[in-house]
Amino acid sequence: MKTVGLDISAIRKEFPTLSRKVNGKPLIYFDNGATAQKPSSVIDRIDQYYRNENANIHRGVHTLSQEATSAYEEARITIQRYLNAKYEHEIIFTKGTTDGINLVAFSFGEMLNEGDEIIISAMEHHSNIVPWQMLCERKKCVLKIIPMDNTGELKLEELDKLLSERTKLVSVTHISNSLGTINDIKTIITKAHNAGAKVLIDGAQSVQHLKVDVQELDCDFYAFSGHKIFGPTGVGVLYGKEEILNEMPPFQGGGDMIKEVTLEKTTYNTLPHKFEAGTPNIVGGIALGTAFEFLNELDMGAVNQYEQELLNYATKQLSKIEGIKFYGQAKNKTSVVSFLIDGTHPYDVGTLLDKLGIAVRTGHHCTQPVMQFYDIPGTIRASFAFYNTFEEVDQMISALERIIPMLKD
């Protein structure tokens, strides 16, 4: 199958997991919002590191250490260029989005005072709620919430009322993992900056779908995970503006984040090492660079267009099923469909789809406040990537038409 700028059949061959069977059926993988499959180039790069380059980085004069250090830092530069960050040292390697947000909540949070305010939205993943609640408990700050409406769109007119001279940070998701809503983060960033606040963007669901330019957005922080953008698990990135990162104290203490240590006093290293204590996930960082090299070979405009076509087609076909209800009907969405079917439980639907080789996600998707807003326990979520096909959508529809009567009997 070909679309403008993309050869889907050729792309699928790059992802070995897509060729396997589950319960005797060809795998249909619609759980990309949780984790994406990996291309052979990423898998091969991991294998290459452990076979040929395995050594610690930044500390050795021997050849293997030098090779590993070079590969790790080249990955940082690849990611810097992809995001259009101003400096490579603005790219901090982390364990993932959660780790990046926690880093900011602790380190930036250390500069806050009692009564200072943090603003998040009502559609945040738990990873962008709990760290701020912990910060507010620790520093006696105030947490405020941007509300959303029934379509799954933020009520940005309320942001103006929430912002004040006490607002120090606004932290919002670029794309909702449970609703698919693409938030107008450019407007949020502008409004926050006009009030003197900094902005963190949770990009866990966006870098793999949209071309992200952090300088154009003018965000102060941007966090994402490697495993959702076709890279390894256990690695991610926090982008931060140089001047802000320089002001922030270290998040963790240990090796590599130090300049000089005595038993009486320690001075800290420069960026990015100040925030990268200890031996990192070396192969994860290197292979994450390979994942970005893979994305560099794609036309992201074509990717976005194709995924929108998949989303529209799946929504249209699913809407023909009697008793279906969608959650997240924003005008600007990415390729996520969350739904329930009258008379069925999402867990049962997900389990039977798996018997037919179809992987979807069921539950609250780590967004319990969203589910509480809609007064539901959770949803069935199908989340698409550019390697999914219209034929796979048709097979999911046929499977649902088969299993729904079984669950309603």
Domains 2-30+299-408 and 43-296 share a fold: no
CATH number of 43-296: 3.40.640.10
121, β-bridge pairs: 146
Comparing C-alpha atoms, which of 124, 300, 277 is closest to residue 203?
124
- Tens-binned pLDDT, residue by residue, of the chain (409 aa): 445 579 999 999 999 999 999 999 999 999 999 999 999 999 999 999 999 999 999 978 999 999 999 999 999 999 999 999 999 999 999 999 999 999 999 999 999 999 999 999 999 999 999 999 999 999 999 999 999 999 999 999 999 999 999 999 999 999 999 999 999 999 999 999 999 999 999 999 999 999 999 999 999 999 999 999 999 999 999 999 999 999 999 988 877 776 777 777 777 778 999 999 889 999 999 999 999 999 999 999 999 999 999 999 999 999 999 999 999 999 999 999 999 999 999 999 999 999 999 999 999 999 999 999 999 999 999 999 999 999 999 999 999 999 999 997 6
Contact, 322 vs 401, CB < 8 A? no
Kind plus residue range of the DSSP H or E element containing 66: helix 63-83
Q: Which residues are the active-site residues?
A: 366
Q: What is the CA radius of gyration of the chain?
A: 22
Tokens of 350: 């997900």
How high is the pLDDT of residue 60?
82
181, β-bridge pairs: 333
Coil, strand, or helix at residue 266?
strand
Spell out a b/e string for 340-363, using b for 16 or more CB atoms within 10 Å of the CB, else e: bbeebebeebbebbeebbbbbbbb
CA dist., res. 319 & res. 390, Å (int):
15
**Domain range list for the chain:** 2-30+299-408, 43-296
**Chosen CATH of 2-30+299-408 out of 3.40.50.970, 3.90.1150.10, 3.40.50.10890, 3.60.20.10:** 3.90.1150.10
CA dist., res. 194 & res. 188, Å (int):
10
Tokens of 354: 């798996």
